[in-house]
Chain A
Amino acid sequence: MGARPHILLVDDSALVLDALRLLFQESGYDVSVARSVTEAVNAAVSRSVDVMLLDLTLPDGDGLEALVRLRAQGAEPRVTAALTGREASEVEARCFGAGCRAVLVKPVPIAQLIAQVRDWTSGPLSGRSPEKH
């Protein structure tokens, strides 16, 4: 039995964070939350993250900036998925270009979200995993 997977939720809305935190805590995850790029980077640097769910519009910049900075610091989460307000091809392309595994449109039906995250965390969990892709 390994530790519970660590999920980092990044969104500027406390309402949305509370809902997602409840969902993942009740589903057996260790949950951290961040409301800005800076908070997200700090959270992931201080403790390695298995899955980061990343909102794109944050008060101190573009959410993808957090992913770029974490990669530069060698603290990239094992999987990052973008959570966007709406589907648009250009947004999607930007997210995949930045290294996101998936682009999910809010509100993602929870059954789908849990299944997706469970799939990503079903392998060996990260203790700062060395894998490149």
Chain B
Amino acid sequence: MHPVDLTTTAEFRIARLEEALNEAAQVNAELQSRDALKTQFLANISHDLRTPLTAIITHAEILRDGILGPLSDRQRDSVASIISGGRQLLEAVGEILTYARGAANQLTVSPSEFHIAAVIAQVSALNEPLVAKKGLSLSVNIPDDIPLLVADREQVMHVISNLLGNAIAFTPAGGRVWVAVTSVTDGDTLAVQVEVGDTGIGIAPEHHDLVFREFAQVDPSPSRRHHGTGLGLTIARRLVELNGGRIWVESMLGQGSRFFFSLPAGSSTR
């Protein structure tokens, strides 16, 4: 081959490579914009679902509370079911939205300094009625010397709420559910570790990874006893990691479950 040919070939190849690179960049941009569209779609849908649900629940509560006149017990029970069904749907919609924002990296962390005890008290108070209704006992154990957290308070609350909600859902009547906090040192850094445990049905070790995976249900059959979007723990993991922590589970089938997460204490959170 002549040297001229070599140069031509090299130039030709470089041109082809550049072309391929451009194409890849275009495909990448296209995928990103489609992903953003999908996220926007999910956000819109969930707003459009929440609005009529808000009206339905408000009207049903007006009826239930007798504001438009007294109801019979059976009527009140029926209306109460509309409300609890509506609230369940609302929660599912909320999870889908949070998941969509997480998947699109649109979840932002607004850290503030707070005491984990206040958040746990709030979450457990909200769950008290359900705990009583299911015939469970709920205990909270937080030593006085737990350091303050610097994290996104709403997000931490969301995580505890999710874990406690699961613990209650998967524990049969007569069981125990607990929240315990300890401070641990992880290398040089001080961390706050939260345990949410229960004496419920438990999770086989081979399913421990699965429960944190999106849309995963250990029992995916339509007749499964426990419903949900399958996003709760995926979101919980995302939120814990966004706040610089980690989350894991210790459990055996039939032996209850203990979910843990830890977050750095003090000012080391980003």
Binding site for B on A (CB under 8 A): 13, 15-16, 18-20, 22-23, 26-27, 57, 85-90, 92-93, 106-107, 109-111
A86 to B47, CA, bound (A): 10
Interface residues of A: mostly helix, strand, loop or mixed? helix
Residues in A whose Cβ lies below 8 Å from that of B47: 57, 85
Q: Are the C-beta atoms of A15 and B67 separated by less than 8 Å?
A: no
| Min C-beta distance of B223 to chain A, whole Å | 31
Q: Are the C-beta atoms of B51 and A16 separated by less than 8 Å?
A: yes
Q: List 10 A-B contacts (CB under 8 A).
A: A13-B51, A16-B54, A19-B54, A23-B62, A85-B50, A89-B112, A90-B110, A92-B154, A107-B53, A111-B61
Interface residues of B: mostly helix, strand, loop or mixed? helix
Q: Are the C-beta atoms of A15 and B154 separated by less than 8 Å?
A: no
A90 to B101, CA, bound (A): 14
Counted as pairs of residues, one from A and one from B, with CB atoms less than 8 Å apart, the total is 62
Q: How big is chain B's contact interface, by range?
A: 20 to 34
| Min C-beta distance of A55 to chain B, whole Å | 10
Residues in B whose Cβ lies below 8 Å from that of A88: 110, 154
Q: Are the C-beta atoms of A107 and B65 separated by less than 8 Å?
A: no
A87 to B153, CA, bound (A): 11
Q: Are the C-beta atoms of A89 and B154 separated by less than 8 Å?
A: yes
Residues in B whose Cβ lies below 8 Å from that of A109: 61
